[in-house]
Amino acid sequence: MPKRVYIETFGCQMNEVDSARMISLLESADYRQANSIAEADLVLLNTCSIREKADQKIRSALGELRRWKSGRKGRLVAVGGCLAQQQGARLAEKAPHVDIVFGTHNIARLPDLVRRAENAIPSMEIDFSGDTSHWDAPPYIPSGASSAMVTIMQGCDNFCAYCIVPYVRGREISRPSGEILDEVRSLADRGVSEVILLGQNVNSYGRKEGEITFPALLRRIARVPGIPRIRFVTSHPRDLDRETIDLFGDMEALCPHIHLPVQSGSDRILAAMGRGYTRKDYLEKISALRRGRPGMAFSSDFIVGFPGETESDFEETLSVMEEVRYDSAFSFKFSPRPGTRAASFAGAVPTEAAGSRLRRLQSLQDEHTRERLAACIGREMDVLVEGPSARDASQLCGRTSCHKFVNFYPEKTRTGSLRTVAIRSAGAHTLSGAEGAPRG
């Protein structure tokens, strides 16, 4: 009887795909995925340290796992990911019920570490070895999945002033293009229609290694039969080049949506953040993308209350939003991460002012999201089905090529993962519709 592992993933898509790889790797130690903590023999937290809130959630999860572990002999707890990388020694000291602590460069070692833990030998492996052998393990994907994430690189060399990623993921390493293409081909063979290429800064793919460029990689992936949709995340606005921008106009398979994190609309704050572009540079790239692919959708990340941000800096951020009218956005209050440059910057913005700016920004974004969704009503859109709708079992749920969620009534006779849906209404965050002619 195989044992069961339950993985709780915090943070970004890089962590999600690493968790999917951990499931594959653990098969060699005779573990299969559990659907709940209750049925697990091993619970693994794949952690994030990008914001203080994620950090607190993980500490509270560890408290609960202390009780879970004492409920039956032989239960194991492992902690991996960015927080483990950054604070491994402290974690092991503060949470002695944790059997395994492993860093972002030690994922391939997981099966061995689990076998040791089964023999009551705790482990802590958090060295920055540059080991990427875990890329050899194909990420677990559920059968029938229509979309899959493919890692193309890891780490980052940018050292933006607020960001912990280069310290916990290490320097940028690109994966050989041959391996990426093999993974994409095998996903196509399994019926996957959409690949999402993942990296902290995909636009600098291959530069250090002398690999093919990112646009060349996109062209090769587009030639793999059976992959009608390609996406990528995350793009750095400074590194998004003309060739990649032009591909949005030339390459049908490249979905008309880009996540392009601006972070702030003020040049003074962008310089303090060390982002390497100005508001003007950013807006020019947005315009070029719109010209190349009319109807293109945009999403972004924002940080409000960065040290030294004045009301007028913040208003410049709002004005970028008004100009771009993003389809969606992630926005956060600045949270100083120990070890980053910005953690020691003067000019802290009072919590109340930062909170009020965040509320204003989010309310403006809600308005724009509603407006962008409403513009879809009456159109027929191709939707990639992800599964049954969570809110109504008679409906399916999927995403448009411009990355909008749609719940829709399917035609009973139709099958396949790509469906044409007539959009009938729009809510605050999703669209609704029906396959075939619009109803009602």
Nearer to ligand SF4, 275 or 368 (CB): 275
For ligand SF4, the binding residues in 222-251 under the rule CB under 6 A are: 236
Nearer to ligand SF4, 201 or 317 (CB): 201
Task: Report the alpha-carbon distance of residue 299 to residue 330 in Å, rounded.
Answer: 8
Q: Contact region for ligand SF4 (CB under 6 A) — 16-24, 153-161, 306-314, 366-374?
A: 153-161
Identify which of 399, 367, 366 has the alpha carbon closest to the alpha carbon of residue 382: 399
Say if residues 385 and 411 touch (Cβ distance below 8 Å): no
Least distance CB 340 / ligand SF4 (angstroms): 9
Q: Count residues binding ligand SF4 (CB under 6 A).
A: 10
Least distance CB 252 / ligand SF4 (angstroms): 29
Q: Does 308 interact with ligand SF4 (rule: CB under 6 A)?
A: no
Least distance CB 188 / ligand SF4 (angstroms): 29
CA separation, residue 315 to residues 39, 302, 318, 361 (Å)? 50, 13, 5, 9
Q: Does 156 interact with ligand SF4 (rule: CB under 6 A)?
A: yes
Nearer to ligand SF4, 159 or 330 (CB): 159
Q: Does 260 interact with ligand SF4 (rule: CB under 6 A)?
A: no
CA 393 to chain centroid: 27
Q: Does 376 interact with ligand SF4 (rule: CB under 6 A)?
A: no
Least distance CB 181 / ligand SF4 (angstroms): 25
- Reading the block at residue 120, the tokens are 């009551």
Q: Does 330 interact with ligand SF4 (rule: CB under 6 A)?
A: no
Peptide bond preceding 234 in cis form (omega within 30 of 0): yes
Per-residue contact flags (x/-) with ligand SF4 for residues 159 to 198, judged by CB under 6 A? xx--x-xx--------------------------------
Nearer to ligand SF4, 199 or 410 (CB): 199
Task: Report the alpha-carbon distance of residue 379 to residue 382 in Å, rounded.
Answer: 10
Place of tokens 């794949």: 46
Task: Report the alpha-carbon distance of residue 69 to residue 304 in Å, rounded.
Answer: 40
From candidates 132, 151, 174, 200, binder to ligand SF4 by CB under 6 A: 200
Least distance CB 159 / ligand SF4 (angstroms): 6
Q: Beta-strand (E) ranges in 159-296?
A: 173-174, 194-198, 229-233, 257-259
Task: Report the alpha-carbon distance of residue 29 to residue 110 in Å, rounded.
Answer: 9
Nearer to ligand SF4, 237 or 433 (CB): 237
CA separation, residue 162 to residues 33, 51, 156, 172, 178 (Å)? 35, 10, 13, 18, 34
Return the biggest CA–CA distance within the chain: 64
Q: Which residues bind ligand SF4 (CB under 6 A)?
A: 156, 158-160, 163, 165-166, 200-201, 236
